[in-house]
Amino acid sequence: MVKIAVATNKNFFEKSLPILLPTLLESGLNKTDVFIFNAGFDVASEEDYDGFTMYKLNHNSFEYSPLIDIVENKRSSEYWFLIHDTCKVGPNFKTLIHNIPENKPYKMAIKKFPSMSIGLYRYDYLLIMEQQLLGIKNPNYDEHSLRTWKDWGVSHEDFIMYQHHPEPEIYPSDEEWSIGAKTNWYGETTWRREEYYPSVDLYKNKANWGQTHGLGMVINL
């Protein structure tokens, strides 16, 4: 079983989720397959979000927020697929993410390093990495803390995907990932580009590629 872990935050989910969630359903997933991890709240809670389960988190650990919550609260699934809220997917997404080798690897990346931590994680591997994940939990929302952790994330991209053994498997594809139009799906002035990852039929509206811009880039990568 593969469950989808959507990484978002309270300052952006109202813009991003209406774009991402319908595409997940159109790929054949059910609402019960998809879990929203919404970071940046004072108090942790669980609520219904139009039929999806939303976990409001009392920390903002960026793309690692869902994985931290999963290990803290022992949210079991054979696999979790981590996806950013600034993505959308095509009709083949569900089929492709279930293209898991018979050896059942600990993790699978959407491409060779770097992969933005997007990909498949076996639940028992996440439990092995529990202390590493809890060590990067950020409950502090002040400007300095957010900037510090965002800058840390630049040099530690794919922290448990590629920077800890074993090496991940890579989803197979006959096509290379590609860069498309420079466009902002959310009607904002932030400079974004569209990337496409055919290995899992996934699009990413990316606001930061190869550099950090400090706090201005903290919220919506």
How do 52-56 and 119-122 pair as beta strands? unpaired
Q: What is the pLDDT of residues 4-47, one digit of tens each?
A: 999 999 999 999 999 999 999 999 999 999 999 999 999 999 99
CA distances for 105 relative to 120, 159, 169, 212, angstroms? 9, 17, 7, 32
d(CA 64, CA 82): 9
Average pLDDT over residues 151-162: 82
Cis peptide, bond prior to residue 166, ω within 30 of zero: yes
2-217: CATH, from 3.40.50.1000, 3.30.70.890, 3.90.550.10, 3.40.50.150: 3.90.550.10
Report the DSSP beta bridge partners of residue 2: 79
Q: What is the pLDDT of residues 76-134, one digit of tens each?
A: 999 999 999 999 999 999 999 999 999 999 999 999 999 999 999 999 999 999 999 99
Residue with tokens 């809220």: 85
